[in-house]
Structures are given as structure tokens and as C-alpha cells.
Chains A and B, each alone.
Chain A
Amino acid sequence: MKFLKIDMATQTITTEDVPAEYAGLGGRGLTSIMINKEVPATCNPLGPENKLIIAPGYLSGTILVNSCRLSIGAKSPLTGGIKESNVGGTVAADIAHLGITAIIVEGKPSNSEAAYLLKIDADGNAALLDGSAYKGLRTYELVRQLKEAYGEKNSITCIGPAGEFLLTGASIQTTDADGRPCRAAGRGGLGAVMGSKGLKAVIVDRGGKATDALADADVFKASAKLYAKAVRDDDFTPALAELGSAVLVAPINAVGAFPTRNAREGQFEGVEKITGETMAEVIKKRGGKNAHMGCAQCIIRCSNEYVDEKGDYVTSSLEYETIWSMGGMLGNDDLDSIAKLDFLCDDIGLDTMGTGVAVAVAMDAGYKSFGDAQAAIDMVEEVAAGTEMGKLIGNGPGAVGKHFKHDRVPVMKNQSMAAYDPRAIQGMAVTYATTPMGGDHTAGWVVADNLEDFGGTLDRFSAEGQVENSRKSQLHMAAVDTVGICDFAQSGFGAGLDNVCKMVAAKLGKAFSEDDWAALGVRILKAEREFNRNAGFTNKDDRLPKMFYEEPLPPHNKVVVISDEEMDKTFDF
């Protein structure tokens, strides 16, 4: 249980025991509470006062399945507010196996051209190495060279050219179970924060043997077993293995909530060519991989390896949100180009969602035509080339809209929406508008609750009950993101929330009840909202862009009906 503090101004590394006030925290709970306390809310996100905090979930590194989420937090250069973006792969478990609770990157080198590598060995010893030879490299080539230099047995978390250019759409990429830098902490421009600190990559040895001891290993084991059984028994688990998150494409389109052509329509006529079912068939036929394990200790395997007609690797993992942002949102029904765009974003180090929406806004403004996949590929390549257009795309939809003086920009707090149109699922309007993270579906995914056919009890076109439901979901997710459980493995909560609380208690060494779980969610949201308020956010920022209130979305022709007063009740604390 220690913090590794990296001062980039002096290139010194110190280790300290985790102070009592952060006990029992990991993941988002730790990053958000620490940022609110230690980062001046009004600071320049790319300046020396910002901190990049890298924290495995509280349960990462234990035997629990699907517990390998890494939270990365900072003040976001994209939203200007607090940010936590989490990612899978293997690194969270590896950091936890070294007994490290968080890596805190502070300050900034005086030489803005400097590039460093942070290398942590199997004994937890950390060193900053000169990384200037790796400057400018895209992530796949970077990882190849770093593995050659430092060995295969490392998890690598890094930025590409977009992060080095300090673009606000830049992601932080990390290696998956096969060692490819294809998993992204995509949201909020955290790659630019890492770039501003002169940190090109963090290399973590995969052989740590200093995992925090559990207070009660037997209780933990029993609960972890129950959790895994609930995941295995869940109906949705085989669907995720077969089709990945892309299983959502067809049904979300069917209910008219699949934002198409920069959210002008809620259904895409070309959808059959880009559904999860089609993708899985194409992958199978060409000899790629479905049911691919992307992250350590995963028993769901929602990942895939998409290959071209010759059977050569294109990208991993093609997911629902990217199929939407680079597909439906662009009016693009060519799956091969979507896969290529997914790869390019990972390689250049860009958020696939924000980047797709940025391209969509450019197309909507008339810069290129919807459906022009080659134009989309060219625009993304321009980011790496550093052209003016590339800078706009790399800075996200807000920057593109401003440039073209185009006001159909589907962002909340300047971060793009996700693949559920809030006009067709009103609950998502509340989540998008009120989460301190900006447009973010994972902050409170209330899609199924809004669809009767999926067992939901809310009327998706009505405001009734939406605020309470989104609040409940957002508070719960803040706690989920703290323990580090993968979103898709939430089926494990089928064994009971108390079962998860037992695992927290068994690590913590003191009681942790369902009330404590709820209180944890409140504590995190309070900290995040306090930070945003101090940064200058008001309730006016908890709103959607005009288009969602004024333009009816076909085929149901509805607009968002949640009033401002209702939005403001979401967090009445």
C-alpha cells in the first residue's frame, strides 16, 4: 500500500505509505478525491499544477475475475473539469501486484521537448529513463521497440503523437493480454496531460509479487467464487463472447436510438452491414478471433481480433461505441473502414468516440460528405501529420464546430455523447448532462432501465423517474469504478451487492456494508462536483446542446423532455 510519486520537474521519484484519508480507496474514488484535494481547480490542465493519477481498482490484483480496470485521473484539458477514464488490459493487476496503490505524476520538465519513460521493475523499483529516441512514435511501433529493449514481460501504458501534440482528444493506450496497445483510456484528453508532463510511456514488469495482503483471504475467496459463478451463469455472458459489445448495434438501432449522421436520425439504413452479428461472421470467415480475452483475469472475453480479407490483423477490439462513432455517426456502412479507423485512433493515440464525432461534425458542416469513409481516414491521418485540420479533429467535436461555425455539436461539457441518443432514451439525457465527466455513457448506463422489452420499468420518452434512476446508477457506477470491476462483468452483482461488499471488507480488514457502498458513491460524486464548481462550472453546464431539445429525432420524432429544474435535482447534495 504505497504511492509512487514522480516529480517530472526534478525527475525524482519518492515512495510513501498511503495516508489514512485514502484508505480503502482505489480507482476512480482515489483519483477523484485526490484531485479535488490536491489539484487547484482553476489550474491549466497542461501546466505543472495538474496531476496525472494512475490507480488500479481497489480489488485489482486480487483473485477476483474481471477486476483489472485501471483508472486514470486528472483535470481534463477537454472539459476543464475533473476526469476519470478507466481502461482494461493487464496493467492494473501488474501495478497492484507490486503493492502500488497509485502512481502520481506531478510537475512538468522545464524542457518542453523532453520525453521520459517510467520503468518499474519486478521489485517495484522505479526509474525515469531518457525516452527521446521514442518521440513521435505511434503506439504500435513504440510498444514493439519498448518490448525489444525491455522485454516482452511488461505492460506498457503510453501516448501516441496526439498526446505529444497536446491535443484534447488524445487517449492513453495500454497493452492488452496479447501485448498490443489497443486498449484506451480514451476520454477527456488525458493523453495530452501525460504529454504535457513529458511522459511517453510507463513500463511495468508483469511479475510483481508484493500484492497487498488480504485481511481475510478465506472470506474473499468464497465471495470471489460466488461472483465468478454469477458472471458465468448470466445470460448475457455468451452473447458478449460471441459478438462483443457490438451485440448492441442491432437492438439500439431497432429502438431508434442509434445516432446516425451526426445525430440527425435515430436509425441507420446501412446498419445490417455493421451489426455485431455481421462483424462476428466476417471475423470468423476470415480467420480472425471472436471471444478474445482482452484483459487479465477475464472470463467473459468480449474482445475480438478483426482481420482483413487476407486474414492479416487490422485491429482489436472492435466495439459498439466505435462501430457507432466511425460507422452510423458518419453514415458509413463499411465495416473494414471502421476497423481501420479504430486501429488508426489506437495507433495515433486518440479517443475513437470523440474523434468519430469530430469527423461527423465536420461532415455535417459540409466539409466532406457523410458516408465518405476515405475522407474520414484522411482526416484522422491528418492528426498524426499535425496539419491544421488534424489539430481540429484531434481537439474534438467542439473545436471542429467552432471552426466551421456549426452549432450541431453533440457534446456535453465539451466531451462527445456516446452511442445512445438521449431523445430516444431520456434517461441518458440525465446522465450525459449531469455527470461531472461530460458526455459519458458509462457514468450511468440506464439504457436497459428505459426499455420495457429489456425488463426496464421507465417510459423512455417520458421524464418520469429518469432523474432518480440516473442518480442511482451514477452513484453505483462511481463505486464500481473504484473497486475496478469491468462494466460487462456487473452481472456478478447478481450474487448480491453484499457479496461485493464482503470482498472490500475482506481486503480492508474492517466492516464494509451496503450503506458504505452507497456512501462511497456519494463521497465521490460530491468531490467531483465540488472540483467542477471550483473550476467555474454551474448548473448551466448540466444541460444538453440545443439540438437535443429542438430537433425531433426520427423515427420517433421526440426531443429531450427533461426540464432544467429536474436536471438540477439529480445531485441535490
Chain B
Amino acid sequence: MEIRVRLYGTLGAGLAAHDPIKGLRLHLPEGSDVGDVIERLEIPRKKVGIISVDGSLAKDDSPLQNGNFVRLYRPIFGG
């Protein structure tokens, strides 16, 4: 399956394939979940805060389907 991923904050820094606005596309085996995306992109897990799939909040074990749009946000701080 093919999904779209977008990384927010500084998560995409250093990832050449990631366009800051459009994100990137990933091919994954059927049955993959959000955790697999994070692993594949080699992002340290503690750097990921909120996750959404097609606009709804999701978790590491949320299953994925062809065409999903996964967004990963970094933790926040401040005011």
C-alpha cells in the first residue's frame, strides 16, 4: 500500500525526501501500522507527540490502509 506522511515541527529536518509542505509518500507492506511508519522513517519515538490519520487522532498501533494520510507532530512546550 501507499500512504502519505507529513512531518511537522522539526521532525522532517534532515529527511531529504520530505517536502515541508507536501510531505512524502511511503510504500508499506499490507497490515502495517503507524508505529511502522515511525520506525521506517527512523524518527526516535520520543520525538513524536501527536499522531493523526486522515485527520483523526491515532496511536502507534493504529492500522493503516492504502491512501491514508499520516501526520506526525512533535511535542510542544511554551505559551
List A residues at the B interface (Cβ < 8 Å).
Answer: 234-236, 238-240, 242-243, 245, 247-248, 250-252, 254-255, 272, 275-278, 280-281, 441-442, 445, 447-448, 451, 453-455, 487-488, 490-491
Contact = CB atoms under 8 A, between A and B. Distances in A.
Contacts of A276: 9
Given A239-B10, A247-B9, A453-B49, A281 B21 contact: yes
B1 interface: no
Contacts of A281: 20-21
Given A275-B8, A445-B79, A487-B79, A239 B50 contact: no
B47 A454 contact: no
Contact of A254 (B73, B75, B78): B73
B16 interface: no
A398 to B, nearest CB: 23
Interface of B: 8-10, 13, 20-21, 47, 49-52, 57, 71, 73-79
A243 to B, nearest CB: 7
Nearest to B50: A453
A447 B76 contact: yes
B5 to A, nearest CB: 14
Contacts of A240: 78
Contacts of B78: 236, 240, 245, 248, 445, 487-488, 490
11 contacts: A235-B75, A236-B76, A236-B77, A239-B10, A247-B76, A251-B74, A251-B76, A255-B57, A453-B51, A454-B50, A454-B75
Nearest to A441: B79
A236 B57 CA distance: 22
Given A277-B20, A281-B21, A451 B50 contact: yes
A198 to B, nearest CB: 33
Contacts of B57: 254-255, 453
B53 to A, nearest CB: 11
A448 B77 contact: yes
Nearest to B10: A239
A238 B10 CA distance: 7
A275 to B, nearest CB: 7
B12 to A, nearest CB: 9
Contacts of A453: 49-51, 57, 73, 75
A455 B71 CA distance: 18
A276 B71 CA distance: 15
A9 to B, nearest CB: 38
Contact of A251 (B10, B13, B21, B73): B73
B11 to A, nearest CB: 9
B73 to A, nearest CB: 4
Contacts of A243: 9-10
Given A254-B57, A254-B71, A453-B50, A277 B77 contact: no
